Amino acid sequence: MAVDKKLMSKLYKLDGYVSRDYDPYQHGIEPSSPSLAYTMDNSWLLPYGYTLLLWGAGKSGKSLISRMLVGDLHRQDPEAVALYYNTEQREELQCTPAMMRAFGIDPERLAAFNVSESTGIFDPIEQEVPKLIQEGLKIRMVVIDSLTDILGRKMVNSNSVGNFLIGDNAATVGDGLNRIRSTLRKYKIATVLVAQARAELDMHEQMRGKKEKMACAFAVRHKAEYFMKVEHLQTKEGKTDLLGNTLQDSAIENVMAAGKDVCDQSSRKMRCTMEQSSCGRDGRTGIFTLHKDHGLINTHEEVFLLGEGNFHVIEQPSQGRFKFGDRTWHGKEAILSAIKEDRQLSKDIIAACKRIDLARKEQAPAATAATVEESA
C-alpha cells in the first residue's frame, strides 16, 4: 500500500523534521594529519555541528590537536571564525604568535577567552553566537579547553574552598552542554572538547590494563559523537622517525642531563585512539609528529603507513621494493622522500585509501524482509 503523500507532507511541516538534503559527512574540518583524519572514519572529516572529545593525561597533546584543527579550519575556509575558551586561563602562554603561524591560525579569526565560570562559556554560545551569525559572522568552530577546569555553579557561589560540593562540576558541565547543543547543531558549528585524566581506582578496570579514566562526568562522552584518547608515544618508535633518525635538535646539546650528552627533544610523536564513535568504527588509531616550533611535521610518514600498512595501496612486490600505480621505488627511504617532495603523489595515495575505506558502505547489501528474518 502506497503512503499518502498529502498526509506525509503534514509531517514535513512539524518542528525538527529532517529533510536529508544536507549531508554532514560532506561538510566539515579535514585534519591536516592524515592519520587523525583516518580515525574519523566515514568522510575523514570532523563534521560541522558535531563534537570531538579529546581526553588524556596532562601534557599529552590534547590542546595541540585542538590548535591544529583551528588552523585547519582557517586554511580550508577563509571566512571561518573559531571561538576558544581557555578555562585554564593561560591563553597568552599556550597560543603565542609563533604557534599560530606554525599551525596556520589566523589571529584575526580566532576569538579566545580566559574564563572558567560556566556562565562565561555556555551563556554566550547559546545567546550571543546566534545573533552574531545572523549578522553575518561565520562562526564554524568552538573549543572548550578544558571541561575539567570549569568551575561548578555551587563552587562559584561558595565562600570557601572547604565546602565539599560533590558532583558540582559534572552537573554544571552536563547542563551547559545540553544548553548549547541546539545552537551547535542548528548553525553547524564543529566543537572540540578537552578533558583531563585521573587515576583509575576500579580494581577490575586496572586488571584490564586501564590505569587512567577521564576526569569528567561519565555522561560527557555521550554528548560527543567522537570520543578520543590522546597520549604521548613513549616507545622507541616514538622517539625516532621511520628511518630511525632521532626526533631531537642536534644544534642544542643538553650536557647537564643526567651526566650524559643529549640534545633537546624538539619533536614528539602522539597517538590518538578513537575509543568510541557514534559515526564510525571504534578503535582506529593514528600516530603523528608534532614539532615544538614548527607544528605538524612528517605527514609523509603517515601517508606511507596508511598506504602501505592500513589499506595496502602501496604494494611491496619484493623485498625492499615499493609500488604505487605505475611508479616503483627501491627502499623505504626512496618512497618516503618521494611522498614528502611530491604533494600530488601524497594526495593520490590518501585518495586511494579513502576510496577503499568508504567503498565498503556502498557495497553493503540493502536490508529486505527476507534478510532481516534470516539474521533474526
pLDDT tens digits, 232-258: 998 888 889 999 999 988 778 777 776
Rounded CA separation 220/173 (Å): 8
Q: Which of 62-71, 166-175, 350-359, 366-375 has the lowest mean pLDDT?
A: 366-375
Sheet of 295-297, strand order: 110-114, 81-86, 139-145, 190-195, 51-55, 226-232, 267-277, 285-291, 295-297
Average pLDDT taken over every residue of the chain = 92
Q: Which of 119-128, 233-242, 257-266 has the lowest mean pLDDT?
A: 257-266
Residue 179 contacts residue 118 (beta carbons within 8 Å): no
Q: 365: pLDDT confidence band, cut at 50, 70 and 90? A: confident
Residue 87 contacts residue 146 (beta carbons within 8 Å): yes
Q: Which of 30-44, 180-194, 199-213 has the lowest mean pLDDT?
A: 199-213
Task: Select from 106, 107, 110 the least CA-distant residue to 82.
Answer: 110
Across 152-177, average pLDDT: 89
Which domains are delineated in the chain?
24-236+266-291 (3.40.50.300), 298-363 (3.30.250)
Mapping DSSP onto H, E and C, the string for the chain reads CCCCHHHHHHHHCCCCCCCCCCCHHHCEECCCCHHHHHHCCCCCCEECCCEEEEECCCCCCHHHHHHHHHHHHHHHCCCCEEEEEECCCCHHHHCCHHHHHHHCCCHHHEEEEECCEHHHCHHHHHHHHHHHHHCCCCEEEEEEECHHHCECHHHHHCCCCCCCCCCHHHHHHHHHHHHHHHHHHHCCCEEEEEECEEECCCHHHHHCCCCEEECCCCCHHHHCCEEEEEEECCCHHHHECCCCCECCEEEEEECCCCCCCEEECCEEEEEEEEEEECCCCCCCEEEEEEECCCEEECHHHHHHHHHHHHCCCCEEEECCEEEECCEEEECHHHHHHHHHHCHHHHHHHHHHHHHHHHHHHHCCCCCCHHHHHHHC
Per cent of the chain over pLDDT 90 is 74
Rounded CA separation 202/92 (Å): 38
pLDDT tens, 76-93?
A: 999 999 999 999 999 999
pLDDT tens, 22-32?
A: 999 999 999 99
Q: What is the pLDDT of residue 162?
A: 79
Residue 306 contacts residue 353 (beta carbons within 8 Å): yes
Q: What is the pLDDT of residue 231?
A: 95
Residue 296 contacts residue 288 (beta carbons within 8 Å): yes
